[in-house]
Amino acid sequence: MKSKPVIGITAGEAKNKYYPNAPKMYGQQYTYIEAIERAGGVPLILPIVQDETVMRQLFDLCGGILLAGGNDINPASYHAILSPHTKHIHQERDDQELKFATWAVAEDKPLLAICRGMQMLNIAQGGTLYQDIPTELPGAEVHEIPDEQSADREHQLVHRLALEPNSKLMAAVETASIQTNAYHHQAIKTLGEALVVTSRTPDGVIESVEMPDRQFAIGVQSHPESLEADIEPQWRKLFAAFVAAAKANRS
């Protein structure tokens, strides 16, 4: 039996609500793990480390890299002044994921970048972000469901995206139109080098990007890993295409 490709999923910092004085933990939501497993990959949570040689060995273990969602990125990464709306910066995570994104692009390793991950890919390519959509784009649609409505927000379909014809994303999901959720308050401002936009919401906010000259480098602003099981199954094809690219890359 042929082995399945290992997909590295970047970790975030988590707190133990039952033991608030316990040491910090690194992990990621189970939805990423299940989406990769369903797609035929071997999910591997990549811990946040500071030794670059260790980072590199973790990167080399993987046939593909999934830059996952999470906290806001330090705006110093794109030469901007910190906004009071930017939340929960984790510099060590930023540093590691910036390296992972840079290495993946340079070496053409399959890369799927989700929410924060898409923003990190954009920054790695020299782009910038809006630090807070409501204050910087006051006419924008709702992109972050309010707290009082957020109990099941990852499963709420908020936008319908029209995908660019002939894009790698459209080819992966095999449809020209797809529904998605929305829980982000930051977004791409200036597009990074070699990235192209493959969908926007009607207010102009960028919802997906890709690199046409790479075998698989796709970013989505939403969280398809929370939808692909049964809410919007078309997203499952994105994970299948990603894992297939990682398997081909390893061959």
What residues act catalytically? 115, 223, 225
Cβ-Cβ contacts under 8 Å for 141 (sequence gap 6 or more): 159, 201, 202, 203, 205
Asked if 185 contacts 134 with a C-beta cutoff of 8 angstroms, the reply is yes
**What distance in Å separates the CA atoms of residue 177 and residue 162, rounded to the nearest whole number?**
5
Asked if 187 contacts 205 with a C-beta cutoff of 8 angstroms, the reply is yes
**What distance in Å separates the CA atoms of residue 125 and residue 105, rounded to the nearest whole number?**
9
